[in-house]
């Protein structure tokens, strides 16, 4: 509480002041939910106004309740403010990240150090309504790819094809996004089963930009990173499905698991390829590029299945209405 507020609150009993503070704490909470942090200033002004208003009264709990009732429920107030101030672009970094020191811009590059929620990750990777292809990183420094914007730019979907991404997609199709990383894991298991015992004791574990190996390790250690990354991918995927996250989160978890599993499989495949044909390079890039394309194709296909489901629902309804 700054000095000015303390002075303003001075005329009230602690109980009354606490009522006001509780009310505005709820407004602030609701603003966070609405991702409208930039309303904070307006709300602070409003709080100062409430204290001014109360200064002209006895400052009893009844007075506080009456004044606050004029503002309506805290959630409604926050929603109203959020609509006016940041309604048009709830997900732009400027309006969303507000003034939190954990997120902002450093030397012209956005950074994000708050722990990402599954929803926030999903919204950045598949946000067809946002025309920006590069979006501030979910965590860390730099940008992420908004595959939704890529799909819109390529004319594969329209920004508003689905009301909420993947929400109308039937469950059996959503499951495809979980099956792909599992298949990728099976590919890794198969490679390990086929080649691990036949590999030389020392294998390549890192490659330069040209594709030439620049670091070697024992073949056992070469397995550690791929296995750990695959397990992380599968854990993210399993958690999204077991906890019945919204469809967008489940699909995004599938996409993330797909990337982790395919990097692992690609790295191991490259190690095998290097051991057998030292000149062979590009397996890593080919598998990773292929799986990025596959992941993108999966997202677009699911979006179009969702659109078709919405269309069927609406067109059926109109034709029924028309026949009555």
Partner 1 sequence: MGNDTDSRLSQFRKGVVVLAILALLHAGEAYGGEIVERLASHPGLAISAGTVYPLLSRLKKSGLIDSAWRESPVGPPRKYYRLSAEGGVEFAAMARAWDGVTDAMDDLLGNGASR
Which spans of this chain sit near partner 1 (rule: CB under 8 A)?
A: 79, 83-91, 128-132, 158-161, 163-164, 310-311, 313-315, 317-318
Q: How far is the CB of 324 from partner 1 (least distance, A)?
A: 17
**Sign of the C-alpha dihedral, residues 224, 225, 226, 229?**
positive
In the complex with partner 1, the residue whose CB is nearer, 52 or 316, is 316
**Sign of the C-alpha dihedral, residues 227, 229, 230, 236?**
positive
Q: How far is the CB of 221 from partner 1 (least distance, A)?
A: 47
In the complex with partner 1, the residue whose CB is nearer, 46 or 292, is 46
Q: How far is the CB of 140 from partner 1 (least distance, A)?
A: 24
In the complex with partner 1, the residue whose CB is nearer, 149 or 229, is 149
In the complex with partner 1, the residue whose CB is nearer, 198 or 311, is 311
Q: What single DSSP character describes residue 37?
A: G
Cα angle value 308/314/318 (rounded, 5°): 140
Q: How far is the CB of 8 from partner 1 (least distance, A)?
A: 27
Cα–Cα distance for residue pair 66/80, rounded to 1 Å = 20
Contact 123, 91 (CB under 8 A): yes
Q: How far is the CB of 161 from partner 1 (least distance, A)?
A: 7
**Sign of the C-alpha dihedral, residues 24, 27, 29, 31?**
negative
In the complex with partner 1, the residue whose CB is nearer, 189 or 315, is 315
In the complex with partner 1, the residue whose CB is nearer, 112 or 127, is 127
Cβ-based burial of 193 (10 A; exposed 0-12, middle 13-18, buried ≥19): exposed
User: In sequence order, what E strands does 53-133 have?
Assistant: 103-106, 109-112
CB within 8 Å of 285: residues ≥ 6 apart: 211, 266
Q: How far is the CB of 127 from partner 1 (least distance, A)?
A: 9
């Amino acid at each position: 509480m700054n000095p000015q507020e303390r002075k303003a609150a001075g005329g009230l009993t602690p109980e009354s002041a606490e009522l006001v503070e509780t009310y505005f704490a709820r407004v602030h909470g609701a603003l966070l939910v609405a991702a409208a942090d930039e309303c904070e200033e307006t709300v602070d002004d409003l709080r100062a106004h409430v204290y001014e208003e109360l200064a002209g009264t006895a400052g009893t709990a009844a007075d506080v309740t009456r004044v606050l009732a004029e503002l309506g429920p805290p959630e409604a107030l926050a929603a109203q403010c959020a609509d006016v101030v940041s309604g048009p672009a709830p997900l732009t970094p400027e309006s969303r990240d507000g003034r939190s020191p954990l997120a902002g811009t450093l030397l012209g590059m956005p950074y994000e150090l708050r722990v990402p929620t599954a929803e926030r990750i999903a919204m950045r990777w598949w946000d067809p309504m946002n025309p920006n292809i590069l979006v501030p990183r979910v965590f860390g420094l730099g940008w992420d790819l908004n595959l939704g914007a890529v799909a819109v730019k390529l004319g594969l979907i329209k920004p508003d094809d689905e009301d909420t991404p993947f929400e109308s997609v039937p469950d059996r199709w959503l499951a495809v996004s979980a099956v792909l990383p599992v298949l990728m894991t099976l590919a890794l298991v198969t490679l390990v089963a086929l080649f691990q015992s036949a590999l030389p004791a020392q294998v390549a574990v890192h490659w330069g930009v040209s594709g030439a190996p620049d670091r070697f390790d024992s073949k056992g250690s070469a397995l550690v990173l791929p296995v750990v990354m695959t397990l992380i991918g599968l854990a993210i995927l399993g958690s999204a499905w077991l906890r019945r996250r919204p469809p967008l989160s489940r699909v995004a978890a599938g996409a993330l698991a797909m990337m982790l599993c395919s990097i692992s499989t690609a790295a191991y495949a490259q190690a095998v390829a290097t051991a057998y044909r030292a000149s062979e390079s590009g397996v890593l890039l080919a598998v990773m590029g292929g799986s990025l394309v596959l992941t993108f194709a999966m997202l677009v296909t699911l979006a179009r299945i969702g659109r078709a489901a919405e269309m069927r629902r609406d067109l059926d309804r109109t034709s029924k209405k028309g026949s009555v």
